[in-house]
Chains A and B, each alone.
Chain A
Amino acid sequence: KAGVTQTPRYLIKTRGQQVTLSCSPISGHRSVSWYQQTPGQGLQFLFEYFSETQRNKGNFPGRFSGRQFSNSRSEMNVSTLELGDSALYLCASSLEGRGHEQYFGPGTRLTVT
């Protein structure tokens, strides 16, 4: 089976712009989670989608949003970008979520200038 894929791999944006990141889970996986990784804050949970519904949400401002499509592919959107949003954004997929292994994609490196 193909692994989790994320596009784009690298992105440079200007403060104030918005950005959309995409994640395609492993075939058959219905749960997709998003994480932000920074040197200062480490790995932090953004949100989880299961069967097109947001099932869990982390402590991030409303500028961070996401959605999931019927084929389980997921997108996350960040509006009004700030310098502090520069990070590696990781997507993880799992079969059902709770208790199941989460498999990570290679990440999208976002740089905000």
Chain B
Amino acid sequence: AQTVTQSQPEMSVQEAETVTLSCTYDTSESNYYLFWYKQPPSRQMILVIRQEAYKQQNATENRFSVNFQKAAKSFSLKISDSQLGDTAMYFCAQETSGSRLTFGEGTQLTVNP
């Protein structure tokens, strides 16, 4: 079975600083897709970033970037210049078995002023 693990249930960071959220996954597939989603208090799931496993280049979206280590099955999210609006639950997800998303347990990130 596919598993996604987020080992940090909670993290906090000061506004304008950088924070890294960790994620590891397990799969036997050679081609797959990884995602980070954020879920603010409104509960709306918002796509943050997407990584294709066959691409070695790490994905970047403005202040958000990933460190994708395929051999180690690691997929961490770096948030630069943290803003108050980044406060949310962050979920790492792997696409498996077609378009099924398997999610990690989530990391609650709090950005402090």
Contacts and interface: CB of A to CB of B under 8 A. Distances in A.
A98 interface: yes
Interface string A73-113: 00000000000000010101010011111111011000000
A48 B99 contact: yes
Interface in B13-45: 33, 35, 37, 42-45
Interface size of B as a range:
20 to 34
What secondary structure prevails in chain A residues at the interface with B? Answer: strand
Contacts of B35: 101-102
A34 to B, nearest CB: 11
Interface in B73-113: 91, 95, 97-103, 105-106
Interface centre among B37, B45, B95, B99 (most CB of A within 10 A): B99
A33 B99 contact: yes
B52 interface: yes
B102 A45 contact: yes
A43 B35 CA distance: 14
A98 B101 CA distance: 10
Interface of A: 31, 33, 35, 42-43, 45, 48, 55-56, 58, 88, 90, 92, 94, 97-104, 106-107
Interface of B: 33, 35, 37, 42-47, 50, 52, 91, 95, 97-103, 105-106
